[in-house]
């Protein structure tokens, strides 16, 4: 029996606008209950929605990054269902004319190559509020989140493993952060996943498809991967026991129990989901002309995965380093510019990964917020490269560059970290050390085992005498010459 898992993902991404999709209430996490509301998002009688332009801009940008065709004409539809966290009992969404369709996302496949997963559609909609279940006796509703702009992304069922689903989700997180359209903070529920999972089973020369299961509302990469894995196993068992196969009406919905690590049946899909979609008469259509598209297109950056591959191919960075650099767009931008300004890629990369990302992380900001200029960074990289400062000093200088904004040469001087490049001064220091360490000199010149150790000792003594401001390789070379000549 051959079993292949087939997964399509529905992903909700919260956009990082200041205000909600259809009203001017702030979008903010963990505010006191019902403190970010107005007549519009409370669904009060007489209130009317007005569309947030930024949300549309963000949605177009994301759809472009996902290689979608952008609709030239789109509209808003009402999706009707009753739930206490949905005050109007309809959600404003996009039904038959989504903002984007027929795109694809590139993810690193299991074999390391690039795999394309097709995107069926991308559309904008408003989020619901939150129901808080208070111990079964009653429920409570907080509408702060109601009306928050969400991007819904639906993939085709092109995903063939739980790990791949996770990789796609992680890649999407990196993309939307890159675009600056979402903070994509999992802890704040900025990304939610609903995989549709079934199996393609080949046995006795026959192929079967198991009934599709939609797993609701997963909000971590771990749960996404684990639930698909569990569901694949469960469906194999179910198939072996019941032989049930996919029909048009037997899709079911299951929830993920994070404690027990199992999926739990929620409802049979066939029992009446009738959302009664129709065009929202309170909103007018959105026409996206070429000049609007061009404006957005100008903001579209090179995507992280493409950039990561380029960093490897163009600069010879390791996969790992390229991945780290491209995790933060401003870091990758700074890297690109510093290299352009003459910094050697590997040096610039080390400085950014060892210092830049660490400090940014400590400060809770991005590398771009550290105030580093690409030219200064390139200069520092070159100083290390040319032996003007050593690598350890480079780290200290970069820390001070971030702290003070001064250029690396000024800092190297004021911190007294410039290596002694004056060979006559070095010669005299070496003379002094050699004359004081006669025993070591003799041992270094001997043929015995101790020779290397004594030689290293001499280099160390000279380094100490220069307070570390000389290049050990240069010193070693000079000592070797002297000893050879003696």
Partner 1 sequence: MDNLIDKALVRKVASLARLELSEQEVKEFTGQLCAILEYFHKINLLDTEGIEPLAHCLPITNRLREDQIQPGLDPGQALKNAPDRDGDLFKVPPILEEGLGP
Partner 2 sequence: MLDAILQMDCLALAEAIRTRQVSSLEATSACLEAIDKYNQKIGAFLTVFQQQALDQARDVDRRIQAGDKVGPLAGVPIAVKDNICTTFGPTTCGSKILANFRSPCNATVVERLMRADAIIIGKTNMDEFAMGSTTENSAFGPTHNPWDLGRVAGGSSGGSAAAVAARMCFGALGSDTGGSIRQPAAFCGVVGLKPTYGRVSRFGLVAYGSSLDQIGPLARSVRDCALLLNVIGGHDPKDSTSVPPEIVPDEDLLARLDQPIDGLRIGLVKGATEGADLPIRQAIGRAVDTYRAMGAEVVELEIPALDYSVATYYIIATAEASSNLARYDGVHYGYRSPAARDCMEVYTRSRAEGLGKEVKRRIMLGTYALSSGYYDAYYLKALKVRNLIRQQIFAALGQCDSILMPVAPTTAFSLGQMAADPLKMYLADVYTIPANLAGIPAISIPVGLDGAGLPVGVQLLGPAFSEGRLLRIARILEKGAHWTCQVPAGLTV
Residues that bind partner 2 (CB under 8 A): 39, 42-51, 78, 80, 82, 84, 87-90, 139, 141, 143, 274, 276-278, 281-284
Contact 256, 215 (CB under 8 A): yes
Question: Whole-angstrom Cα distance, residue 286 to residue 296?
Answer: 15
- Comparing CB distances to partner 2, the nearer of 87 and 374 is 87
Contact pick of 30, 134, 259, 486 for partner 1 (by CB under 8 A) = 134
* Residue 54 contact partner, candidates partner 1, partner 2, none, CB within 5 to 8 A by sort of partner: partner 1
* Residue 286 contact partner, candidates partner 2, partner 1, none, CB within 5 to 8 A by sort of partner: partner 1
Tell me the β-bridge partners of 9.
Answer: 195
Question: Whole-angstrom Cα distance, residue 322 to residue 352?
Answer: 11
Q: State yes or no: residue 262 binds partner 1 (CB under 8 A).
A: no
Q: State yes or no: residue 389 binds partner 1 (CB under 8 A).
A: no
Q: State yes or no: residue 139 binds partner 1 (CB under 8 A).
A: yes
- Comparing CB distances to partner 2, the nearer of 36 and 68 is 36
Using CB under 8 A as the binding rule, the residues of this chain from 393 to 452 that contact partner 1 are: none
Contact 14, 182 (CB under 8 A): yes
Contact pick of 30, 46, 82, 237 for partner 1 (by CB under 8 A) = 82
Contact 352, 374 (CB under 8 A): no
Q: State yes or no: residue 153 binds partner 1 (CB under 8 A).
A: no
- Comparing CB distances to partner 2, the nearer of 141 and 245 is 141
Interface mask toward partner 1 for 53-72; x: CB under 8 A: xxxx----------------
How far, CA to CA in Å, does 175 sit from each of 55, 179, 305?
Answer: 17, 6, 9
Q: State yes or no: residue 189 binds partner 1 (CB under 8 A).
A: no
Contact pick of 34, 247, 392, 464 for partner 1 (by CB under 8 A) = 34
Number of residues that bind partner 1 (CB under 8 A): 62
Contact pick of 19, 161, 382, 456 for partner 1 (by CB under 8 A) = 19
* Residue 371 contact partner, candidates partner 2, partner 1, none, CB within 5 to 8 A by sort of partner: none
Q: Is 319 helix (H, G, I), strand (E, B) or coil?
A: helix
Question: Whole-angstrom Cα distance, residue 439 to residue 454?
Answer: 9
Task: With contacts defined by CB under 8 A, name the span among 44-52, 238-246, 357-365, 378-386 that binds partner 1.
Answer: 44-52
Count of beta carbons in the 10 Å neighbourhood of residue 422: 10
Residue whose C-alpha is closest to residue 31's, from 108, 176, 143: 143
Contact pick of 4, 247, 270, 285 for partner 1 (by CB under 8 A) = 285
Question: Whole-angstrom Cα distance, residue 214 to residue 267?
Answer: 10
Report residue 365 CA to chain centroid gap: 14
Contact pick of 106, 126, 142, 158 for partner 1 (by CB under 8 A) = 142
Contact pick of 14, 52, 326, 379 for partner 1 (by CB under 8 A) = 52
Task: With contacts defined by CB under 8 A, name the span among 50-58, 62-70, 197-205, 478-486 that binds partner 1.
Answer: 50-58
Min dist CB 15 to partner 2, Å, is 19
Q: State yes or no: residue 86 binds partner 1 (CB under 8 A).
A: yes
Tell me the β-bridge partners of 126.
Answer: 149
- Comparing CB distances to partner 2, the nearer of 87 and 195 is 87
Question: Whole-angstrom Cα distance, residue 336 to residue 317?
Answer: 13
Question: Whole-angstrom Cα distance, residue 377 to residue 374?
Answer: 5
Min dist CB 122 to partner 2, Å, is 22
DSSP E strand boundaries for 73-230: 73-74, 77-80, 90-93, 100-108, 114-126, 130-134, 138-142, 149-155, 191-203, 206-209, 213-215
* Residue 460 contact partner, candidates partner 2, partner 1, none, CB within 5 to 8 A by sort of partner: none
Count of beta carbons in the 10 Å neighbourhood of residue 436: 12
What does the buried/exposed string (b/e) look like for 119-158 if buried means 16 or more CB atoms within 10 Å of the residue's CB? bbbbbbbbbbbbeeeeeeeeeebbbbbbbbbbbbbbbebb
List the structure tokens of 129: 């509020």
Measured distance between the N- and C-terminal CA atoms of the chain, rounded to whole angstroms: 79
- Comparing CB distances to partner 2, the nearer of 281 and 448 is 281
Q: How many CA atoms lie within 13 A of 276 on its CB side?
A: 5
Contact pick of 2, 46, 111, 133 for partner 1 (by CB under 8 A) = 133
Q: Which residue has the tokens 């949905």?
A: 86
Contact pick of 1, 4, 29, 39 for partner 1 (by CB under 8 A) = 39
Residues that bind partner 1 (CB under 8 A): 17-19, 23-26, 32-39, 42, 50-56, 75, 79, 81-86, 91, 128, 131-134, 136-143, 216, 253, 255, 266-267, 272, 274-276, 278-279, 281, 283-287
């Amino acid at each position: 029996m051959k079993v292949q898992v087939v997964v399509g993902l529905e992903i909700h991404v919260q956009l990082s606008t200041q205000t909600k999709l259809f009203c001017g209430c702030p979008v903010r996490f963990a505010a006191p209950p019902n403190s970010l509301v107005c007549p519009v998002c409370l669904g009060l009688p007489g209130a009317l929605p007005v569309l947030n332009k930024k949300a549309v801009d963000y949605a177009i940008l994301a759809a472009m990054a996902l290689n979608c065709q952008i609709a030239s004409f789109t509209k808003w539809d009402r999706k009707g269902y009753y739930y206490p966290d949905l005050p109007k009992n309809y959600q404003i969404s996009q039904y038959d004319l989504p903002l984007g369709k027929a795109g694809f996302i590139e993810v690193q496949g299991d074999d390391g190559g690039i795999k394309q997963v097709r995107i069926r559609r991308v559309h904008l909609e408003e989020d619901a509020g939150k129901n808080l279940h208070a111990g079964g006796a009653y429920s409570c509703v907080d509408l702060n989140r109601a009306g928050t702009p969400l991007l819904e992304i639906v993939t085709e069922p092109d995903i063939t493993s739980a790990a791949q689903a996770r990789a796609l989700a992680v890649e999407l997180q990196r993309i939307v952060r890159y675009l600056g359209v979402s903070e994509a903070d999992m802890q704040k529920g900025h990304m939610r996943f609903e995989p549709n999972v079934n199996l393609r089973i080949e046995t006795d020369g026959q192929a079967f498809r198991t009934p599709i299961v939609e797993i609701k509302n997963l909000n971590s990469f771990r749960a996404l991967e684990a639930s698909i894995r569990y569901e694949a196993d469960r469906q194999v068992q179910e198939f072996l026991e019941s032989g049930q196969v996919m029909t048009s009406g037997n899709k079911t919905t299951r929830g993920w129990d994070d404690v027990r690590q199992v999926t739990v049946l929620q409802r049979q899909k066939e029992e009446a989901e009738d959302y009664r979609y129709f065009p929202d008469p309170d909103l007018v259509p959105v026409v996206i002309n070429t000049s609007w598209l061009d404006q957005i297109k100008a903001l579209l950056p090179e995507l992280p995965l493409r950039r990561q591959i380029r960093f490897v191919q163009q600069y010879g960075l390791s996969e790992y380093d390229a991945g780290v650099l491209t995790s933060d767009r401003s870091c990758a931008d700074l890297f690109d510019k510093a290299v352009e300004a003459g910094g050697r890629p590997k040096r610039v990369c080390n400085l950014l990964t060892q210092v830049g990302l660490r400090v940014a992380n400590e400060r809770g900001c991005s590398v771009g917020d550290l105030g580093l200029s690409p030219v200064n960074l390139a200069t520092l990289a070159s100083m290390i490269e040319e032996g003007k400062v050593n690598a350890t000093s480079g780290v200290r200088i970069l820390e001070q560059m971030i702290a003070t904004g001064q250029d690396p040469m000024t800092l190297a001087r004021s911190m007294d970290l410039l290596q002694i490049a004056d060979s006559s001064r070095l010669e005299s220091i070496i003379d002094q050390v050699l004359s004081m360490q006669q025993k070591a000199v003799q041992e270094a010149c001997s043929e015995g085992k101790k020779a290397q150790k004594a030689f290293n000792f001499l280099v160390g003594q000279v380094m100490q005498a220069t307070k570390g401001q000389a290049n050990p390789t240069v010193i070693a070379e000079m000592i070797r010459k002297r000893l050879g000549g003696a």
